[in-house]
């Protein structure tokens, strides 16, 4: 088991290396000169050239990559071209909002979708099942920002239950933190509820067709116990898989949600950095996201062991 983990972690290194090279190349090949942006509107060509040199952008790509990679190995992610702060500091400031949003979204999604999926499978073919299937397709057909505006209009402006925007750090109090985060999390969770509910329904349906369910019912176990301890438990593997996939897709949704709700997180940081051609920041954040994705995959695979004793590593 531990060798499995060690092997998996080791195999992430070539993947991350490839990510690093890909991202580095893509950025250097973009039109758009960070030096010109930094210099401002009324700058002259010489000023821009001087800034380029000071950023090290006038050297060859190989040299630039070499410098960046060697710094990386020493833990130095470089400093942002724009904010004159260490990239690690920038990321540290922005990671709390993104992580909180992602965590709350997943929590809501899992808590809502799994019961929905179980009930739909239990009452297969009934109105609840059809309603859920209908809703779920709708759920991942509407873009996140349209949903966000709708929700803001109804819940925040008309009803006044939640603020329209903003993020309060946990340090400023748990209730303000939660209050500002609920609406964004609900907005983002819709698509995951749709996704996870479907898979839950499908896997539980599968499990319900198995012999051991008939046995359990014949033994006279209460239906709830049959559903949860037997059907759901056996359906856990595909559900865990889709949650893992969902986390990977979460980043995309987070970018838009942060944009609409003015949450100063990593998603917005990356978009702004790409637009500003802030190479060090983009490189670092994408590496971070990729590492997180790989880590989540590993955790999902490990969770299989918990859910399915037959699986051994």
Partner 1 sequence: MNRKIVAAVLLAATATAAFTAAAQEKVLRVVPHSNLSILDPIWTTQFMARNHGYMIYDTLFGTDEKSRVQPQMVDKWTVSPDQRLWTFTLRDGLEFHDGKPVTGEDVAASIARWGKRDAMGQKLMTFVERMDSPAPNTFRIFLREACGIMLEALGKPSSNVPFIMPKRVADTPADKQIEEHIGSGPYIFKREDFKPGDKAVYVKNAKYQPRKEAASGTAGGKRVYVDRVEWNLALRDGQAQVNALAKGEIDVLERPAFESYEQLRKADGVVLVNKDPLGFQYMGRFNHLHPPFNNAKIRQAAIAAMQQEPFLRAQVGIKEFYKPCASMFTCGTPYGSAKGSEIQSKSTMRKAQELLKASGYDGTPVVILKPTDLAAIQKLPDVAAQLLRQAGFKVDLQAMDWNTVVSRRAKKEAPAQGGWNIFLTAWLAPDVWNPLTNAAIGAAGEKSWFGWPTDEQIEKLRDQFARETDEAKKKALAEAIQVRAFEVGTHAPLGEYVNPLATRKNVTGWVIGSGDVYWNVKKN
Partner 2 sequence: MDQTLSVESANIARRESAWQRLRRNWSVRLGGAAIALLLLVALAAPLLGTVDPTLFDAASRDLRPGQAGEIMTLDGELLKHEFVMGSDSFGRDIYSRVIYGTRVSLLVGIATALIALAFGIVLGLSSGYLRWLDGPLMRVMDGLMAIPAILLAIVLVAMWRASVLTVVLAIAITEIPRVTRLVRSLVLSIREEPYVEAAISLGTPTWKIMFGHILPNCVAPLLVQGTYICASAILVEAILSFLGVGLPPDIPTWGNIMAEGRVQFMAYPHNLFFPGVFLAVTVLAVNILGDGLRDTLDPKMAKRV
Binding site for partner 2 (CB under 8 A): 14-19, 22-23, 26-27, 29-32, 137-138, 140-146, 149, 153, 157, 195, 198-199, 202-203, 206, 238, 242, 245, 248-249, 251-252, 255-256, 259, 270-271, 274-275, 282, 285-286, 289-291, 293-294
Residue 293: CB minimum distance to partner 2, A:
5
Residue 172, CB half-sphere, CA atoms under 13 Å: how many? 10
User: Binder to partner 1 among 4, 8, 12, 47 (CB under 8 A)?
Assistant: 47
Q: Tokens 């051991």 sit at which residue?
A: 212
Q: Find out whether 298 and 6 touch, Cβ atoms under 8 Å.
A: no
Q: Find out whether 210 and 234 touch, Cβ atoms under 8 Å.
A: yes
- 259 lies in the binding site for partner 1 (CB under 8 A): yes
User: Binder to partner 1 among 2, 3, 29, 44 (CB under 8 A)?
Assistant: 44
* Residue among 175, 188, 106 nearest 144 (CA): 188
The continuous run of DSSP H or E covering 66 comes out as helix 61-73
Residue 152: CB minimum distance to partner 2, A:
9
Binding segment for partner 1 among 5-13, 29-37, 232-240, 284-292 (CB under 8 A)? Answer: 29-37
Residue 235: CB minimum distance to partner 2, A:
10
Which neighbouring-strand residues pair with 79?
A: 86
CA distance 91 to 266: 7
- 128 lies in the binding site for partner 1 (CB under 8 A): no
Q: Find out whether 199 and 117 touch, Cβ atoms under 8 Å.
A: yes
Binding segment for partner 1 among 1-9, 55-63, 162-170, 304-312 (CB under 8 A)? Answer: 162-170
- 243 lies in the binding site for partner 1 (CB under 8 A): no
**In this structure, what DSSP letter does residue 228 have?**
I
- 64 lies in the binding site for partner 1 (CB under 8 A): no
* Residue among 241, 258, 219 nearest 311 (CA): 241
Binding segment for partner 1 among 4-12, 20-28, 160-168, 202-210 (CB under 8 A)? Answer: 160-168
């Amino acid at each position: 088991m531990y060798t499995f983990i060690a092997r998996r972690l080791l195999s992430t290194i070539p993947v991350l290396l490839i990510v690093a090279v890909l991202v580095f190349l893509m950025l250097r090949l973009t039109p758009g000169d960070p030096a010109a942006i930094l210099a401002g509107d009324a700058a002259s060509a010489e000023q821009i050239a001087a800034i380029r040199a000071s950023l090290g952008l006038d050297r060859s790509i190989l040299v630039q990559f070499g410098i960046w990679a060697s710094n990386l190995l020493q833990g130095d992610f470089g400093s942002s071209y724009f904010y004159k702060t260490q990239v690690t500091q920038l990321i540290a400031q922005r990671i709390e909002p993104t992580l909180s949003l992602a965590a709350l979204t997943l929590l809501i999604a899992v808590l809502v979708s799994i019961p929905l999926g179980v009930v739909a499978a239990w009452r297969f073919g009934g109105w609840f099942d059809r309603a859920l299937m209908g809703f779920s397709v709708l759920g991942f057909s509407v873009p996140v920002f349209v949903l966000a505006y709708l929700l803001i209009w109804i819940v925040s402006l008309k009803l006044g239950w939640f603020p329209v925007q903003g993020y309060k750090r946990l340090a400023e109090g748990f209730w303000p933190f939660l209050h500002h985060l609920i609406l964004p999390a609900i907005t983002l969770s819709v698509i995951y509820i749709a996704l996870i509910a479907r898979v839950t329904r499908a896997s539980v349906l599968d499990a319900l067709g198995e012999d051991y369910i008939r046995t359990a019912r014949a033994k006279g176990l209460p239906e709830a116990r049959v559903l949860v301890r037997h059907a759901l438990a056996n359906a856990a593997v595909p559900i865990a898989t889709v949650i893992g996939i969902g986390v990977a897709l979460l980043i995309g949704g987070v970018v838009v949600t942060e944009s609409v709700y003015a949450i100063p997180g990593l998603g917005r940081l990356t978009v702004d950095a790409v637009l500003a051609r802030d190479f060090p920041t983009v490189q670092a954040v994408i590496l971070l996201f990729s590492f997180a994705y790989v880590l989540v995959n590993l955790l999902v695979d490990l969770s299989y062991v918990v859910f399915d004793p037959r699986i051994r590593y």
